[in-house]
Amino acid sequence: MPEQMEIRCPKLGGQVTVAYCLKEAGALPCSRIIHCWHPYFPVEEYLRNRLTPEDWERCFNQSPKEKISTLIELIEAAKNKPDK
């Protein structure tokens, strides 16, 4: 059953259980969780019962950013940290 199963996380390159995927993004599950786990249990139904529509939107319906854009955002955020 799901809590005993492991799948290979394509992000990490290692084995993970669904417990990791449920909190991969801190307060939110990994954005790939449905994609990765839907063959094994009704993960979408599970999450729809637990996420607010806003969190659902944040988690699953945001367009991906180009890597360069992500890097620029992180650079700007790091430059603005007070004790750099």
CA dihedral 10, 21, 32, 12 (to 10 degrees): -20
Query: Minimal distance in Å, beta carbon 58 to other proteins?
Result: 9
Q: How far apart, in whole angstroms, are the C-alpha atoms of residue 80 and residue 60?
A: 28
DSSP state of 38: T
Q: How far is the CB of 80 from other proteins (least distance, A)?
A: 10
Shortest CB 44 distance to other proteins, Å: 7
